[in-house]
Amino acid sequence: MPSEELFDVVDEQDHVLEQLPRSVVHARKLLHRAANVFVFDSQGKLLLQFRSATKDEYPHCYTSSASGHLSAGEDYLESAQREMLEEIGIDTQLEWLEKFPGTCNNAYEHTVLFRTYSDGPFIFDPVEIERAEFLGFSQIDQMLSEDESQFTPPFRQLYRWYRENCSH
């Protein structure tokens, strides 16, 4: 069995305190780091992934185009590029949009949101992603109003911020 991934445990100011295994960080609800990428196609639609049933957190929920925890010692951009390549099979320029503090509402993750543009081709990781689709803002807004629990809490926070600040 592969060794468990190590995360940087951080304080409220995002300074590294120590490294601990993923399961310990999640069980203790310790602050850690994540990166999310919103991928837009040439029509302005946002790629959403539908998480596989085997995910330990929020299985069968919609989330960002690509996202993941930073490994110990990794920076936000490195993580975003790695997750994008591993999960959806693309390597594009990323634009840093905003950094959000870790709270109980976003899984205790200090999170950076990046944006990029691509029409693919995409290669989806079948272990992580059951399916993925490009959706317009009005469709996502409608889905959120009908049942926000079909989206991960971190995605809901990032999407609402994006809609307020970037999609005018």
CA distance 58 to 52: 9
pLDDT attached to residue 2: 57
Report yes or no on 36 lying in a domain: yes
Reported as a pLDDT band with limits 50, 70 and 90, residue 1 is very low
For residues 54 and 157, what is the distance between their CA atoms, to the nearest angstrom? 23
Instruction: Please give the average per-residue pLDDT across 123-127, as a whole number.
Output: 95
Range of the domain at 94: 6-165
Q: Note whether residue 64 is domain-resident.
A: yes
Residue that has been written with the tokens 């889905």 in this structure:
143
138-148 pLDDT, tens digit per residue, is 999 999 999 99
Could you read off the pLDDT of 47-100 as tens digits, one per residue? 999 999 998 888 999 999 999 999 999 999 999 999 999 999 999 999 999 999
Q: Residue 14 and residue 107: Cα distance in Å, rounded?
A: 15
Task: Assess if residue 1 is contained within a domain.
Answer: no
How many domains does the chain fold into? Answer: 1
pLDDT at 168: 58
Side-chain half-sphere CA neighbours of 122 within 13 A: 23
Give the CATH number of the domain where residue 12 resides. Answer: 3.90.79.10
> What does the mean pLDDT of the chain come to?
95
**Does pLDDT of 37 surpass 80?**
yes
Residue 17 lies in a domain: yes
What integer pLDDT is reported at residue 4 of this predicted model?
A: 86
Contact 108, 7 (CB under 8 A): no
Domain membership of residue 59 (yes or no) is yes
Task: Establish if 150 belongs to a structural domain.
Answer: yes
Task: Give me 163's structure tokens.
Answer: 């809609």
